[in-house]
Amino acid sequence: MSDVGREVPPAVATKGLGWSGRETPVEPPPAGPGMREDVSRRFGRAEADPRFRDLADPLREIPDDLEVDAGAAVGDPRVEEALEALDRDLVALREVKGRIREIASLLVVDRLRRGLNLEADPPTLHMCFTGNPGTGKTTVARRMGEILYALGYVRKGHLVAVSRDDLVGQYVGHTAPKTREVIRRAMGGVLFIDEAYHIYRVDNERDYGQETVEILLEVMENQRSDLVVIMAGYEEQMDRFFSDVPGLSSRIAHHIDFPDYRLEELMDIARLMVERERYRFSAEAERAFEEYLRERMRQPRFANGRSVRNAIDRARMRQAVRLYDAARRGRRLTKRDLVTIEAEDILASRVFEGGAYHGEGGRGDRAVAARA
Ligand SMILES: Nc1ncnc2c1ncn2[C@@H]1O[C@H](COP(=O)(O)OP(=O)(O)O)[C@@H](O)[C@H]1O
Ligand SMILES: [Mg+2]
């Protein structure tokens, strides 16, 4: 995935990543009619209270001890729900979650200030998420969209995830319309650009990616009230991208780093995933899975949460084969059988075979890998 669009001659069709460009609309929060208006009245776009709208200098003209309705802003259930869901559904990531709470605080206070016509530049919300594959960047970006929606900073809160091939064309004249179409789809939500640094290579003058960068810079500046751009990728390459593209870094207010998970954290992720899919590890399976991860972490292309996801998918497959065979031999199956992942479902992995491990998509695992 890291070599998307790299070293491909312009005339050769580069294949987009299977998942890129996928749009994930956020479910509108359950609420009665008129909620949209309600949100926009109270939140981000909220205008100043009519009493203060015409003041030339609200900073001086409004008495300092005027009380504001902080309780309503802080106690807004949708904002708290979105933040709690982030806490609950994602394990670890303490710093990341802290940063997101900070951003939410800033926006709530900004909203209160705007009610008093205390104008300031609207906060810049474009972000940069750095970290290795599978550390939760895409997942958090999606949550960020929901939170910004709950806060009324974007109209829809959906996530449009793209990479270079979705933005940059192959021929003269193709790039600008392609980029603009992606931006149009993302308006009102979050535009998530994976491995953003592949968009533009300084060493290649004929690269159309430069057009994309110019459009993005323009949109990030002028349409930031209704579009949040999140660029994601490896830290070093992202740093280089920022030094290659003047004006980009200054448009991004929040840099959030996603560290690799420790073994215990990966185990927590595994338990969460297993439970969410209504399975259980037997006690032996849990030990086997930990052993599995210990091995897997040392092998090439280990991808944090994604590798956990893949391993669980394959364990489910092996469990199913085991149960199917047992049923064919006439064994009765119970609910316990259906929900339990046993140690053997994990120990059969090639990771335990020793020697070099060649990724997660090999023999027999193709269907699983395609979904990863
Ligand atoms: N902290 C976490 N808690 C639970 N699941 C996680 C966590 N981090 C990553 N995952 C899972 O790992 C997989 C890969 O995460 P993703 O957000 O796609 O990573 P990235 O975008 O950084 O490559 C997803 O299935 C995601 O749900
Ligand atoms: Mg991702």
Residue 43: the pLDDT is 40
pTM: 0.82
Q: How far is the CA of 108 from the centre of ligand 1 (A)?
A: 27
The 10s digit of each residue's pLDDT in 71-129 is 877 777 888 888 999 999 999 999 999 999 999 999 889 888 988 999 877 788 999 99
> Which mutation among 264, 276, 306, 371 tests ligand 1's pocket best, with the greatest number of atoms within 8 A of CB?
306
Residue of 153 and 14 predicted with greater confidence: 153
Ligand 1 contact via 14 beta carbon (within 6 Å): no
**Rounded distance, CA 105 to CA 97, Å?**
12
DSSP run (H or E) holding 191 = strand 190-194
Band (pLDDT 50/70/90 cuts) for residue 367 is very low
Residue nearest to atom 9 of ligand 1 (CA): 136
**Rounded distance, CA 215 to CA 193, Å?**
14
Ligand 1 contact via 135 beta carbon (within 6 Å): yes
Q: How far is the CA of 305 from the centre of ligand 1 (A)?
A: 5
| 14-258 against 263-369: fold identical | no
| Cβ count within 10 A of residue 250 | 12
Question: Is 179:144 a contact under the CB 8 Å cutoff?
Answer: no
Band (pLDDT 50/70/90 cuts) for residue 17 is very low
Specify the residue for token string 């809160």. Answer: 157
Q: How far is the CA of 172 from the centre of ligand 2 (A)?
A: 29
> Reading across the β-sheet that carries 190-194, which strands appear in turn?
23-24, 159-162, 190-194, 228-233, 127-131, 254-258
Estimate the share of the chain in helix, then strand, then coil, as percent rounded to the nearest 5: 50, 10, 40
27-32 long-range contacts (CB < 8 A, ≥24 apart) are 29/78, 29/81, 29/149, 29/150
The 10s digit of each residue's pLDDT in 175-194 is 999 999 999 999 999 999 99
Q: Which of 4-8, 22-26, 330-334 has the lowest mean pLDDT?
A: 4-8
Average pLDDT over residues 142-171: 93
Q: Which of 9-23, 173-187, 212-226, 283-297 has the lowest mean pLDDT?
A: 9-23
Sign of CA dihedral 215, 216, 220, 225: positive
Residue 58: the pLDDT is 93
Residue 229 pairs with which residues in a beta bridge?
Answer: 191
Share of the chain above pLDDT 90, in %: 66
Ligand 1 contact via 142 beta carbon (within 6 Å): no
CATH number of 14-258: 3.40.50.300
* For the CA of 258, the nearest atom of ligand 1: 22
Ligand 1 contact via 299 beta carbon (within 6 Å): no
Residue 193 pairs with which residues in a beta bridge?
Answer: 162, 231
Q: Is 341 left (phi over 0), alpha (psi -120 to 50) or beta?
A: beta
For the chain, count helices (H), then strands (E). 17, 8
Residue 70: the pLDDT is 83
Residue nearest to atom 11 of ligand 1 (CA): 305
Band (pLDDT 50/70/90 cuts) for residue 203 is confident
Q: How far is the CA of 173 from the centre of ligand 1 (A)?
A: 36
**Rounded distance, CA 110 to CA 285, Å?**
50
Mean residue pLDDT of the chain comes to: 84
Contact partners, residue 202, CB within 8 Å, separation at least 6: 244
Ligand 1 contact via 134 beta carbon (within 6 Å): yes
Ligand 1 contact via 233 beta carbon (within 6 Å): no
Average pLDDT over residues 149-157: 90
Residue of 69 and 43 predicted with greater confidence: 69
Highest mean pLDDT among 50-54, 197-201, 326-330: 326-330
Residue nearest to atom 3 of ligand 1 (CA): 90
Question: Is 163:16 a contact under the CB 8 Å cutoff?
Answer: yes
Q: How far is the CA of 135 from the centre of ligand 1 (A)?
A: 5
Burial class (CB within 10 angstroms; exposed 0-12, middle 13-18, buried 19+) of 84: exposed
Domain ranges in the chain are: 14-258, 263-369
Topology of domain 263-369 in CATH is Helicase, Ruva Protein; domain 3 (1.10.8)
Ligand 1 contact via 139 beta carbon (within 6 Å): yes
